[in-house]
Amino acid sequence: MWGSSAVSQNAPSRITRQEYILFGTTIFILIALGLWWITLMGRAIKTEDAYNRLQIQYEAVVLAQTHSNSTLEHAYLEIQTDSNTESGWRTPVLHMPDHYIGIKKSHEVALDKTFVRRKFMIYGEGVLLIGLLGVCAFMLLRLVTIRKSVQNEMEMFVGQMTHEMKTPLAGLRALLQTLQKGAIPPEKMQKVLDMGLQQIDREEHLVQTLLHAQQLRISEKPFAKEPFGLLEFVSKFIKHRISARNSDPESYVTKIDEMFRCVGDQQAALTILENIADNAEKYGATKLVFEALSDRGKIKLSLIDNGQGFDQRTALHLFEPYVRGSKTDGQHGTGLGLHISRRLAQAMGGDLIGRSDGIGKGAVFILSLPEESL
């Protein structure tokens, strides 16, 4: 159980780091947008206020002009920078001789294109700000979605693992308790002991797969790159399968050149073969053919079965975690075997692909590994 525990404890931490980054970025953007919004509103208020004041002042000037029956011919307009404002706000100012209307100081005038342009700028910034707020909302939504998806995935993982690890244990426990009671008839003894050993082998394979999954996650311990003979390796695998799983020796066929040599981690390669063979068995295969060829520096090992196969829809998601083939409701399996197998193959510099001509037409899985260079 510790294998399962190690994975389930480590799995969320990676996600949490990603979530931290996403959440931190979103909060930072929101704070920046908030400050921007305050500045923007300040500017808008100032512009509006200045505009209104200048409008009133202009009207006052026109009124004064009317009353004094004079003209503003000596008035002139200049653009001056207000040094009191941080933004260096450029303010149009109307200078007029004092005697015209009796106003002794300069008057700001708003009827200038600068203000109109400024207002457009503010509107533009406002639209951009709303757009960025939309992006933030999307990011937060995505964050929630990721969290929910991770939670669902973890629940599924724990559920599947619990089931996959506890079921063989239940059988073994029941076997030992039944043995203790002396309830097993002598004629059935050998059969149930064989079943117990097969159960232990399945449990061992499950633990090994989980350990490899953990190794892939932490990436601190790279996989070995040792050369090994493919025919000898596959023969050992078949021999183990026949003895540990009580498989029919006739169900395995090898067509492998004894000269083919691969480079990789044999234990990881064994896990891949076990997963493929387990899948084939689960989906009704009675025969598994091993064929190999050498292709551009890679040894391609094909595992051809006569089982149920899969349709095009399943093929698209075959190596995704928790994807199960059709017609497997309630079937045993973690839903991680092929996913981990492909990642193991890729970690060794190879790959794993699967294909089928459709339901009822069997499946072919091709494991490619680097060929030993001579």
Partner 1 sequence: MSLHHILVVEDDPLTATMLETNFKFEGYDVTLVTNGRVAIELLASTSYDLILLDYMLPEVDGQTILRELRKSDAKTPVMMLTARSETPLKVSAFAAGADDYLSKPFHVDELLARAKALIRRAAR
Q: Which residues bind partner 1 (CB under 8 A)?
A: 159, 162-175, 177-178, 181, 183-185, 188, 191-192, 195-196, 198-199, 327-332
CB of 327 to partner 1, least distance (A): 7
Q: What are phi and psi of 94, to 5 degrees?
A: -100, 115
Within the chain, where are the H helices? Answer: 2-68, 98-101, 113-181, 186-218, 230-244, 266-282, 312-316, 337-347
Long-range CB pairs of 92-99, under 8 A, 24+ apart, other chains included: 94/58, 94/61, 96/61, 96/72
In the bound state with partner 1, the residue whose beta carbon lies nearer, of 102 and 185, is 185
Q: Whole-number minimum distance, CB 278 to partner 1, in Å?
A: 14
Measured from the CB atom, the residue of 176 and 218 that comes closer to partner 1 is 176
- Tell me the pairing of strands 288-295 and 252-255: parallel
| Residue 175 vs 207, nearer CB to partner 1 | 175
Return the DSSP state at 294. Answer: E
Residues 308 and 284: beta-carbon distance below 8 Å: yes
Of the pair 263, 363, the CB lying nearest partner 1 is at 363
Residue with smaller CB distance to partner 1, 275 or 308: 308
Tell me how far, at minimum, the Cβ of 249 lies from partner 1, in Å.
Answer: 20
CA distance 343 to 195: 31
Radius of gyration of the chain (CA): 38
Q: How far is the CB of 276 from partner 1 (least distance, A)?
A: 20
Q: What is the sign, positive or negative, of the torsion defined by CA atoms of 9, 14, 17, 22? A: negative
**Considering the complex, what minimum distance in angstroms separates the CB of residue 307 from partner 1?**
14
